[in-house]
Amino acid sequence: EKQIMAKVLSGVAMGLVGLLVLIIAALVLLSPPLYLVLLTLIAGVIGIFFTSFLGMLIDLHFPKLDWDNEQKAVKQNFNSVINMFLSLLFAGISLLLVFIFRLKLPLAFLLIVAVYGLLDLLLYRILLTRGAKQLAEMEG
């Protein structure tokens, strides 16, 4: 469990750095209203956890265990591409639904936070139960 959460939280930390850079750039260049910055921060954090949990789940299902050196382990690992594609797919579907149903910002925000918050909880529980068991089996 600790190993799983350490990997997830390292991904979250990297994602938060990117999110904060984006928010600071937006504040400097666009001067958005404070409520929009807060909504972006909240939705961004939930999205970052989703992507990190999903990435960990993919890594557990398709572990890259055969490699000669650390470079090959990273460069020949297709899991990050799968995670990126699935994350973009989820984001695209979310945006498409917001536009199709012409949702106003408050409702769109609440639905996105609720859906991705529930997905985060589900993925978290899966990782700490099945994921921990799978990792223990891999370690022998």
pTM: 0.91
Structure token pair of residue 61: 């299902």
Residue 14: what pLDDT?
A: 97
CB contact at 8 A, 127 and 53: yes
| Eight-state DSSP code of residue 23 | H
Domain count, the chain: 1
Alpha-carbon gap, residue 117 to 9, rounded angstroms: 16
For residue 74, what pLDDT band results from cuts at 50, 70 and 90? Answer: low
- Which residues lie below 8 Å from residue 3, measured CB to CB, with a gap of 6+? 135
pLDDT tens digit sequence for 105-124: 999 999 999 999 999 999 99
Residue type at position 119: L
- Other CB atoms closer than 10 Å to residue 121's CB: what's the count? 12
Range of the domain at 128: 2-139
